[in-house]
């Protein structure tokens, strides 16, 4: 069993560890979520940067391409202008040759729709195409501008609805001069806006991305929105506020994020570049869907992973908490049990130490065959030490045979029976060396273990012994008392002089005898007899002789009485004999026979014979009555009748 303190500290350690682990899980969840959030933010920024770089590079690339195209067209215009000048120097313009020249220029530029030239009046007279209709462009702004400016360089128009081909066209114009420098017309080339827009489709952009070409005054020349509707309002100058701000702060080129596009409402990251030489602006808008799609995928994966992690960590924490709480409950249970056990052990220990009886705990020692040959003393209490005089250090951990210096440990057989069978016993033993008696209780708490409780019964034994002696004395005294009582009874119920029953005894006996006679229906005769002239004996020989006479008469009466007869000295010299089963006649004969014997047997006083006679009266049940007093009176009357009739005789009651 784990000590209570250890369990307590283990419980609090567990709680601390649990809290640390829970905090660690929460921190891990927050950290992972935070890291994921910052990673997503970083990736978002990266996607944004990537989008910006893409749009910037694309804008630069497209601007350069268009710039090269425009430069090349400009070169074609210059070449045509030079050819025009060369032919002029010959004095005459050869229309056919000039047209062929212009056709060759046109073929070298795939983007060009046409290349034409006018005279100084604006009539389109030369060109890559043979025109069947007469066209004049003298009213066009660019014609007027070039006509009026002899130093004008190449001129790029806004998008115009062409008069010849009836299509929206971007026109590049150069002035033609006569030999003296005067205005000779213009040479101009056009690119159809739709073709230009189509040419943007070679760029591998994603759906929703856009490329917009604007002239120097911001009018739209061409627009390509990938995967969407490409319609736009030619020459439209509407721009978003973001574009306006970007242009204002950085007129030659910048990157900015637009809100919803003014044209199609799509959010894009834009980069624009203004061509330094020709002033046109290329604006590339990338919706960033691709980059952000990638980011979204990553963010979603991250979110799912974090979600899984949070769920798993929460589930883990929940399971951990549940298991902890269960464990804590168990520990609490263990704590309660341990506390109870500790309290119980404390109580046991305190009881063990404070017991007046000597207690010793033992364990059997077995040999290799498993036979119990001795027992070890595991623990003893202070009373054991006090009783035996053996110190604890001397006995604990030792075998009994060793401690008591005996070949066979004391009471081994008895103890083995208890330790193996489990049934408690007790026996008394006198330890002569200690001069003490003990009542030894032996019980077995578990197999091979037993406890002995030595109850000192020396005093009790002494007391028992003295009690026994006292009892013997008492018994003796009792016997003496009984004897005395018997003597007393004799004294009370017998006449001390003659040893016959006295009148008191007779009174009680007669009641019983008469009752029995009535019950069993037999006769009961009462004989009252009296010494004749006894006074004379006393007077003559003395009272002692008189006593001797009385004793002699008593002996006669006793000698002639049956077992069932009751003889008593009824008073002075009066005697009464009760004779059960005797009719009056039988009684008469019996007492008369006795009378005769007495009369013939004198009492000897020394050598002097003293003659004695008796007078008697007989009364019987049922002949003379059934009442004791009446019968006694009748017997007495009969006796007096005998006196009256001369003494020495027996009379029957009438
Ligand atoms: N020695 C002795 N004398 C006794 C005892 N009890 C009574 N007496 C005597 O018995 C005598 C009885 O005398 P009475 O009653 O006159 O009768 P009696 O002399 O026998 O004459 P009758 O009965 O008429 O024949 C008295 O003298 C008594 O003292 C006794 O225990 N011992």
Active site residues: 573
Contacts 24+ apart (CB under 8 A), 232-235: 232/263, 234/159, 234/161, 234/168, 234/193, 235/158, 235/159
524 vs 609: CA distance, rounded Å: 36
| pLDDT 10s digits, 292-328 | 777 788 888 888 888 888 888 888 888 888 887 887 7
With CA atoms as reference, report the closest residue to 250 among 219, 271, 229: 271
At residue 77, the pLDDT reads: 93
81 vs 89: CA distance, rounded Å: 12
Task: State pTM to two decimals.
Answer: 0.48
Q: Which residue owns the Cα nearest ligand 1 atom 26?
A: 535
pLDDT > 80? residue 4: no
CB proximity list for 424: less than 8 A, separation 6 or greater: 418, 441, 442, 443, 444
CATH homologous superfamily, domain 494-652: Reverse transcriptase/Diguanylate cyclase domain (3.30.70.270)
536 vs 378: CA distance, rounded Å: 101
Q: What percent of the chain has pLDDT above 90?
A: 52
Domain chopping of the chain, boundaries? 7-196, 201-291, 297-350, 358-456, 494-652
Q: Which helix (H) or strand (E) holds 499?
A: none
Cα of 572 vs centre of ligand 1, distance in Å, is: 7
Q: Which residue owns the Cα nearest ligand 1 atom 15?
A: 535
Q: Which residue owns the Cα nearest ligand 1 atom 14?
A: 535
pLDDT tier at 394 (50, 70, 90 boundaries)? very high
Q: Which residue owns the Cα nearest ligand 1 atom 4?
A: 572
- Span 201-291 CATH architecture: 2-Layer Sandwich (3.30)
- Hey, do 7-196 and 201-291 end up sharing a CATH topology, with the first three levels equal? yes
316 vs 326: CA distance, rounded Å: 15
Closest atom of ligand 1 to CA, residue 544: 1
Cα of 547 vs centre of ligand 1, distance in Å, is: 10
| pLDDT 10s digits, 319-355 | 888 887 887 788 778 778 778 878 888 887 888 888 8
At residue 476, the pLDDT reads: 93
| E strands, 167-252, in order | 168-177, 183-192, 210-214, 220-225
Cα of 534 vs centre of ligand 1, distance in Å, is: 5
Cα of 566 vs centre of ligand 1, distance in Å, is: 23
**What residues form DSSP beta bridges with 126?**
117
Any idea which fold 358-456 has? Beta-Lactamase (3.30.450)
* String of DSSP letters for 21-46: HHHHHHHHHHHHHHHHHHHHHHHHHH
Closest atom of ligand 1 to CA, residue 546: 1
Instruction: Quote the distance between the C-alpha of residue 394 and its chain's center.
Output: 46
Q: CB within 6 Å of ligand 1 — which residues? A: 530-536, 538, 543, 546-547, 550, 572-573, 643, 647
- Span 7-196 CATH architecture: 2-Layer Sandwich (3.30)
Mutate to test the pocket of ligand 1, among 496, 531, 538, 603 (most ligand atoms within 8 A of CB): 538
**What residues form DSSP beta bridges with 620?**
525
Helix 543-560 vs helix 534-541: angle between axes, to the nearest 10 degrees? Answer: 140
């Amino acid at each position: 069993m784990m000590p209570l303190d250890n369990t307590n500290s283990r419980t609090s350690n567990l709680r601390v560890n649990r809290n640390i682990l829970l905090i660690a899980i929460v921190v891990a969840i927050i950290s992972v979520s935070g890291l994921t959030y910052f990673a997503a933010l970083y990736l978002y920024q990266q996607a944004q940067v990537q989008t910006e770089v893409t749009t910037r590079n694309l804008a630069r690339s497209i601007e350069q391409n268009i710039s090269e195209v425009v430069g090349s067209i400009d070169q074609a215009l210059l070449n045509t202008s030079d050819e025009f000048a060369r032919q002029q120097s010959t004095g005459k313009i050869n229309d056919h040759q000039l047209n062929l020249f212009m056709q060759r220029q046109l073929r070298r530029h795939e983007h060009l729709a046409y290349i034409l030239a006018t005279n100084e009046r604006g009539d389109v007279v030369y060109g890559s195409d043979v025109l069947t209709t007469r066209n004049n462009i003298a009213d066009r702004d660019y014609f007027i501008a070039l006509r009026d400016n002899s130093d004008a360089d190449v001129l790029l128009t806004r998008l115009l609805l062409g008069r010849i081909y009836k299509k929206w066209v971007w026109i590049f114009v150069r002035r033609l001069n006569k030999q003296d420098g005067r205005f000779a017309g213009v040479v101009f080339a056009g690119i159809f806006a739709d073709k230009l827009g189509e040419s943007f489709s070679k760029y591998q952009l994603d759906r929703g991305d856009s490329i917009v070409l604007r002239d120097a005054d911001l009018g739209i020349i061409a627009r390509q929105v990938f995967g969407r509707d490409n319609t736009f309002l030619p020459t439209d100058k509407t721009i978003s506020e973001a574009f306006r701000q970007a242009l204002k702060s950085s007129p030659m080129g910048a990157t900015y994020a637009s809100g919803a596009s003014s044209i199609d409402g799509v959010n894009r990251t834009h980069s624009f570049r203004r061509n330094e030489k020709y002033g046109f602006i290329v604006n590339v808008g990338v919706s960033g869907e691709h980059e952000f799609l990638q980011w979204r995928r990553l963010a979603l994966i991250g979110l799912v992973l974090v979600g899984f992690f949070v769920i798993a960590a929460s589930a883990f924490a929940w399971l951990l908490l549940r298991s902890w709480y269960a464990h804590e409950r168990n520990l609490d249970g263990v704590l309660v049990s341990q506390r109870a056990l500790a309290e119980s052990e404390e109580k046991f220990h305190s009881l063990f130490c404070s017991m007046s009886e000597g207690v010793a705990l033992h364990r059997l020692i077995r040999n290799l065959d498993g036979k119990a040959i001795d027992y070890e003393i595991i623990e003893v209490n202070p009373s054991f030490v006090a009783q035996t005089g053996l110190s604890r250090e001397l006995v604990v951990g030792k075998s009994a045979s060793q401690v008591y210096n005996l070949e066979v440990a004391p009471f081994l057989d008895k103890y083995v029976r208890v330790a193996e069978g489990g049934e408690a016993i007790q026996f008394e033993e006198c330890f002569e060396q200690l001069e003490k008696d003990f009542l030894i209780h032996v019980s077995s708490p578990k197999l091979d273990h037993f406890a002995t409780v030595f109850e000192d019964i020396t005093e009790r034994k002494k007391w028992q012994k003295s009690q026994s002696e006292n009892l013997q004395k008492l018994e003796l005294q009792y016997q003496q008392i009984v004897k005395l009582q018997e003597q007393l009874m004799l004294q009370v119920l017998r006449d001390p002089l003659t040893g016959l029953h006295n009148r008191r005894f007779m009174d009680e006996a007669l009641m019983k005898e008469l009752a029995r006679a009535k019950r069993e229906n037999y006769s009961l005769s009462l004989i009252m007899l009296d010494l004749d002239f006894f006074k004379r004996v006393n007077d003559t020989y003395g009272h002692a002789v008189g006593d001797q006479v009385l004793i002699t008469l008593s002996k006669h009466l006793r000698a002639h009485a049956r077992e069932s007869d009751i003889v008593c000295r009824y008073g002075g010299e009066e005697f009464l004999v009760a004779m059960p089963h005797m009719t009056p006649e039988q009684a008469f004969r019996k007492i008369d026979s006795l009378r005769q014997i007495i009369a013939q047997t004198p009492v000897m006083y020394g050598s002097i014979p003293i003659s004695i006679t008796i007078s008697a009266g007989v009364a019987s049940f049922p002949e003379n009555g059934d009442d004791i007093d009446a019968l006694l009176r009748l017997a007495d009357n009969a006796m007096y009748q005998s006196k009256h009739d001369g003494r020495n005789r027996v009379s029957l009651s009438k």
